[in-house]
Structure 1
């Protein structure tokens, strides 16, 4: 038994020596890999914190610009937005560019605002932001430009499947109305009215446009136009119901009804 114990101890010593030799050989690589993992995790966490911190700062700067705009200090708001566009983080510089164009509209610099929207449309990789810039620029060009100016911006958006199709159709219809192309304007407005996804307020506005065309004799009465007139009349009735009613003695009401009957006949 003693010899077996001696051999066992020798064998264990040999295995231990081999393990120490292996560890001395590969320890630098193992430690280096572990340190590398720690550094990667730390760098990732630091980068995430850095961006989150910058995004929070950019958010505060954007809301500060909004407050300046609401307070009427447009030059200071422009400076704040310019700084955010230059040094902001995340998507806030793009939001600042949109807001800056809106400030230009408030200042009456329509040409500069349209140029800002066109620049956004030409630089945005996000198709939705690009379409939004085109629609906003096209809407401004209804008054500041020609029908061709509006069509070049919103023509490709005023189609089925586009989320901003009805805003584009409205701008296009107004430009067509301004250019005297009443049939095309009617088609644009009716496309919105017939869109099942159009909001009721938007449909009612199209109804007013169509009713205006009809009252001018620019278009002939058609079922879709009649529906638009009905929508406009319904809104007028709602407005009339909300208006204060003049106080009339109860005894006079039947007489007024009786006098109105011959006219109705």
Structure 2
């Protein structure tokens, strides 16, 4: 008797399952197609993104080659190429293009144009933090001998902390800024600290030691 009831219950379950399958078959098919479509779309998007990155890299290299093949006075074509890159390339290459174009403009005498590009990078929340800080450092370096000391300090001090990759260069610029303002004692203390800081690059430590020697430090 128990076996009969079990068989009946199994038949009922099978019948209900068949009715549900027939009723919602279109839903199952639609979900399956959506999953397949999403997977294919993702693969196509990744392939397209890879091609975009490759094309951007090739254009960036072409601009670099053009910049290196002519003197500073003839780099307008390279700057134009980099400007186009900055407007259309994927994010990483946009930032690199702006930084390189700024350097070329500064070397060519267009400091105002260079500072404008560096400021764009420094203020761009989508750019890598390392590159934003580099842009701020470049502005300070190029304006160190004539820029407003308060503005330069405001740019450099956040970069001079030990956890920032540019800390040594920022501290060097702050020391030079102290020297420019006649703060010789503060400058000497900063150069002395840099000259013995093993976390600073060797060349920078040597420059700091040379500055101390030039300032009469024993």
TM-score for both structures, normalised by structure 1: 0.71
Q: What aligned pairs does 1:183-222 form with structure 2 within 5 A after superposition?
A: 183-214=185-216
Q: Which residue of 2 aligns with 1:147?
A: 149
Q: Distance in 2 between matches of 1:187 and 1:146?
A: 22
- Deviation of the 1:104 alpha carbon: 0.8
- Deviation of the 1:184 alpha carbon: 1.8
Structure 2, unpaired ranges of 5+: 1-6
Q: Which residue of 2 aligns with 1:123?
A: 124
Structure 1, unpaired ranges of 5+: 1-7, 215-224, 227-265
Q: State the secondary structure of the residue aligned to 2:90.
A: coil
Shift in alpha-carbon separation, 1:17–1:63, aligned structure 2, 3 A = same
| Contact 1:155 1:168 survives alignment (8 Å) | yes
> After superposition, what is the alpha-carbon deviation per residue over 1:112-138, rounded to whole angstroms, capped at 9, x for unaligned?
212321222122354322221111111
- Deviation of the 1:155 alpha carbon: 2.0
Q: Which residue of 2 aligns with 1:179?
A: 181
Q: State the secondary structure of the residue aligned to 1:197.
A: coil
RCO (CA 8 Å, sep 6+): is it higher in 1 or 2? Answer: 2
- Deviation of the 1:144 alpha carbon: 3.7
Q: What aligned pairs does 1:129-140 form with structure 2 within 5 A after superposition?
A: 129-140=131-142
How many residues were matched structurally?
Answer: 208
TM-score for both structures, normalised by structure 2: 0.85
Q: Distance in 2 between matches of 1:212 and 1:124?
A: 41
Q: Which residue of 2 aligns with 1:85?
A: 86
Q: Which residue of 1 aligns with 2:53?
A: 55
Which structure has the larger Rg?
A: 1
CA root-mean-square deviation: 2.5
